[in-house]
Amino acid sequence: MYLSNLAFIQIGFLDLLDIFLVAILIYEIYRLIRGTVAINLFIGIAAIYFIWRLVVAMQMELLSEILGAFIGVGFIALLIVFQPEIRQFLLFFGSPAFLESMPKRVRFLFGKMNSAESSLDVDKIIMAIRHLSDSKTGALLVLSKKHDLRQIIDTGEQFTSDISSGLIESLFFKNSPLHDGAVIIRENKIVAARCILPVSKSNRIDVALGLRHRAAVGITEQTDALALIVSEETGNISYSKRGVIINHVATHQLKTFLEKEFIS
């Protein structure tokens, strides 16, 4: 009886489209968790799901009820176990790189939801970066644009101060209690220090670069902020934008870049 019913199954265009989209979704999930311990759990849950659907199709009511209850609880467990991967997947859709790939009209709508960019006192920042580089003092500055970086600011010591080259240098002085972490500049004000940034997991970053550079890439992957880095080992200046890091930058090149981003 079951086999005779299968002979009369009709497959239309929407059914084929449904199968195609599900295949793409499964492939993207596989790419996301490939190489992690989560892949074994994913394969196990997927196998149980397909067995459950087969049992339902064969009208085995008792077994389908048991497997159905397991799948219902397993979905919640799936969200908990895959929380880091799901978070990374959702963050991608809000990243500057993804928004940049969208049509101009859609980017305009997202742009209206954010506050307008403000000007920046570039000269004082450049002066601080030059002095930090000359003294080989490690530094990490994050310059906010449209994103207000509220979650990042909440991880550090919050205050509000006008931009001053001397203040920036003192914050990163190695004996300062606030030197470890990032300084956040928003709306032409220093608003926080010793902030914790998300560290990028990209394998495109030079292995010779440390956590300070990876943190700079991480924050610019997830927001439209810019990050300025001074290496503690070499004094080299770098900056990161949209998840891309540019190394060995001269101060006059950095000044031109910042003026283009905030003033022009």
pLDDT in tens, 119-177: 789 999 999 999 999 999 999 999 998 888 888 999 999 999 999 999 999 999 988 88
Name the residue among 161, 145, 167 with its Cα closest to residue 262: 145
Please count the helices (runs of H) and the strands (runs of E) in the chain: 12, 7
pLDDT at 38: 63
Contacts of 92 (CB under 8 A, 6+ apart): 98
What pLDDT does residue 78 have? 66
For the chain, the farthest-separated pair of C-alpha atoms sits apart, in whole angstroms, at 84
Residue ranges of the alpha helices (H) in 154-230? 165-171, 211-222
Is residue 39 packed enough to be buried (19+ CB in 10 Å), middle (13-18) or exposed (0-12)? middle
Confidence of residue 101 (pLDDT cuts 50, 70, 90): low
* Separation CA 62–CA 255 (nearest Å): 71
Give the whole-angstrom CA distance, residue 121 versus residue 157: 22
Using one digit for the tens of pLDDT, what is the confidence trace for 16-38?
A: 888 888 888 878 777 766 666 56
Q: How many angstroms separate the first and last alpha carbons of the chain?
A: 74
Helices 13-33 and 38-57, axial angle in degrees (round to 10): 150
What predicted TM-score, i.e. pTM, was given to this entire model?
A: 0.62
Which domains are assigned to the chain? 2-93 (no CATH), 122-262 (3.40.1700.10)
Range from 95-99, 199-203, 218-222, 223-227 carrying the lowest mean pLDDT? 95-99
Q: Is 91 exposed, middle or buried (0-12, 13-18, 19+ CB in 10 A)?
A: middle
